[in-house]
Amino acid sequence: MSGPPLPPVDRPALIAVDGRSGAGKTTLALELAALLRSHHTVAVFHLEDIYPGWHGLAAGRQRYREKVLEPLAQGRRAEWTAWNWNTNNDGERRVTEPAAIVILEGVGAADAAARGLLDAAVWIDADAGQRRTRAIARDGAGYEPYWDVWARQEEEWLAGDDVAAAADILVRDSPDALSPAAVLQALLNLPQLEPLLSLERSHPALPSLQVEKVEGCPDAADLFRDLYGSSSHAVWLDSSNAAAGQEPDRNAVSIMADGAGSFGQLAEHRAGMTTVTGGRVSVRIRAPFFRWLDSAWGAASVQVPEDFPSDFALGWLGCLGYELKRECGGNDVAAATPDAALIFAGRGVVLDHQRQCTYLLALSDAATAEEASEWLGRTQSVVKQLAARVQPADSGTPAEANCAAPAFSLRDSRDDYQDKVRRAKAEIREGNSYEICLTTQLAAEAAPHHDDFGTYLALRRRNPAPFATYLKFGDLVLSSTSPERFMSISPDGWLRAEPIKGTRRRVDDPAADAALKAELAGSKKDRAENIMIVDLLRNDLSHYAVPGTLQVSRLCAIESYATVHQMVSTIDALLRPEASRAEAVAAAFPAGSMTGAPKISTMDILDRLECGPRGLYSGAAGYFSLSGGADLSVVIRTLVRCGSGLSLGVGGAITADSEPEAEWDEVRAKAFGVLSALGAVFPEDRRPAGPEGH
């Protein structure tokens, strides 16, 4: 680029657009520059101007780094020699000024040696046949004899430099699908560009929320199957006890959505990096998860309609794994499952089981109004058809009838677990903790044709719960019948936590069952466990609460579910107006009922006692809504399938007076609800294989 000097800058933001030849780099770079020029001075550098001939990819990348990139990174003008493709020799001297933003496009613009100097790297991944056609159409027949020569150089370079894996933004391209607006939106998500792109970030184009009420509340399982059965990524936050006709206690609505549509996105966090995918563009945000969540969700942008039964007005839905504790004072432990997996739903369904009606929600703007209207009409037709059935269709065959019951194995044997209980009690005697929520895991291989949805339906029939959840994220599936709320935040800022500590397995005999409930209510040990966690959560919520608003509105109440009686408390507080909602969630994460107290030192003890990561178990599942509201359950009573592996986490709180045998019995009681729904048995109850067994 040449011309009059640009206004001086301390250092330009350097954005590379890379990809193999013919990927569409030039088109994207020029159109992206046009968008950015609304608020910034922008220069564009083309690497094809500096390559020394058809065999010069390696030498050209070196020239680019030394003559262009390094001076620009120091805030100096870049003076370089262009290649004359007609004479096949060095040509004229040129200058690239350090504009506020410099876009550097071409093969090798984001190679390993360059990336340390860049602020952002974009990689375009395109089909080889399409690339060849485009490159020759652009550069003429003169390029055709050299296509294979150049392609071999690209392959040699990329064999040792995986630029696609290292890029901040990945674009999956087809000939007419490059979207500079989508790439600009991805750039807005990068923390390193936040100050530069503050104007673009401060004036987002907000879509409107459309809400349609449909009389009738169809069978939830049938509705999810019809609407989302074929979706690769879908969420069902299921008040299955209310759906089963039980009196709703803490949650009377079910929510369904997937990541489809123009507004749909997927987000996955692993070990310090959140990858957000929308359409053909993925952005990798190398920052703590809760920092990204604050940016993506932080402030309310949609108002919940009057007389609407939920705080959910579309937004992010999914799950947070226990290993996110690394951001909350815990140790860094890796798990096979993601640290977080979420979808952004631009449309969804809310079932009001109490008032027997259904709400359809969709975001729309000028460009997507027709799409939203079509979805609303199609979905309304499905809801009305299912709601008109005199009797809901059977919600599926029990999972144990669909495939063989899985054979679970134990991470810890009875003796091993009881020994860990004793070691936990020793830590308590030493004053290192007051309460230690020790867990273990059962694992099995899924059958070749394992039916995830049928399995979940069997679980919800066996264990109806207010915070049941079915999450499908490709090869990751979570089937939960959790009765425990981790935390909710209302749009007007009220925080609520409802920890559970104290469990008794129910029995068929009514008198004996009533006696177990009474025994739990009068148990000093269980009450002490619960009150310790209440104190912990009072502290967690107080970090961002308005002084004087913190209160325990319910202490050690007994709730009864299909397979267990539970002791539950409720803590409320009002969030300070200036406080970050995401940080308030982080301050209470992981749930104190799954760690013990004091939280940080106890998590450290648990890492030493437990023989592996917890993964999604002990984490949270739910939504972060555009209304500013959130509602998250604790991931317990949950079966997780990751690839071909099934896992079930179970455990209990250890205190100074815990009995190892009784703690093992509690592990068995908590596993029973899930295992029985699967037709499986606790591992030590299986008959050993032998001649009689065959």
Active-site amino acid positions: 484, 501
Cα angle for residues 498, 502, 503 (degrees, 5° grid):
110
Instruction: Please tell me the distance from the alpha carbon of residue 158 to that of residue 360, in angstroms, as a whole number.
Output: 47
DSSP string, 273-334: EEEEEETTEEEEEES-HHHHHHHHHSS--SPPPTT-S-S--SEEEEEE-GGGGGGTT-----
Q: Name 14's bridge partners.
A: 102
- Mark out the alpha helices in 565-687 (DSSP H runs): 581-588, 599-609, 660-678
Tell me if the bond preceding 180 is cis, omega within 30° of 0.
no
Cβ neighbours for 421, distance < 8 A, ≥ 6 positions apart: 438, 654, 658, 660, 663, 664
Instruction: Please tell me the distance from the alpha carbon of residue 463 to that of residue 483, in angstroms, as a whole number.
Output: 9
Instruction: Please tell me the distance from the alpha carbon of residue 562 to that of residue 684, in angstroms, as a whole number.
Output: 24
Instruction: Please tell me the distance from the alpha carbon of residue 362 to that of residue 359, in angstroms, as a whole number.
Output: 10
- Mark out the alpha helices in 499-646 (DSSP H runs): 510-521, 524-542, 581-588, 599-609
Number of helices followed by number of strands (H, E) in the chain:
21, 31
DSSP string, 370-435: HHHHHHHHHHHHHHHHHHT-SSPPP----HHHHSPPP--EESS-HHHHHHHHHHHHHHHHTTS-SE
Instruction: Please tell me the distance from the alpha carbon of residue 38 to that of residue 101, in angstroms, as a whole number.
Output: 12
Q: What share of the chain is helix, strand, coil (3-state, %, to 5)?
A: 35, 30, 35
Determine phi and psi for 5, rounding to 5 degrees.
-60, 145
C-alpha 326: how far from its chain's center?
A: 16
Within 10 angstroms of residue 249's Cβ, the number of other Cβ atoms is 13
Instruction: Please tell me the distance from the alpha carbon of residue 132 to that of residue 148, in angstroms, as a whole number.
Output: 10
For 557, the 3-state DSSP assignment is: strand
Q: Name 430's bridge partners.
A: none
Residue with tokens 């604050």: 294
- Contact by Cβ (8 Å): 254, 220: yes
Instruction: Please tell me the distance from the alpha carbon of residue 477 to that of residue 374, in angstroms, as a whole number.
Output: 29
Cβ neighbours for 136, distance < 8 A, ≥ 6 positions apart: 22, 143, 144, 147
- Contact by Cβ (8 Å): 444, 407: yes
Cβ neighbours for 201, distance < 8 A, ≥ 6 positions apart: 188, 194
Residue 174 burial (CB < 10 Å; 0-12/13-18/19+)? exposed
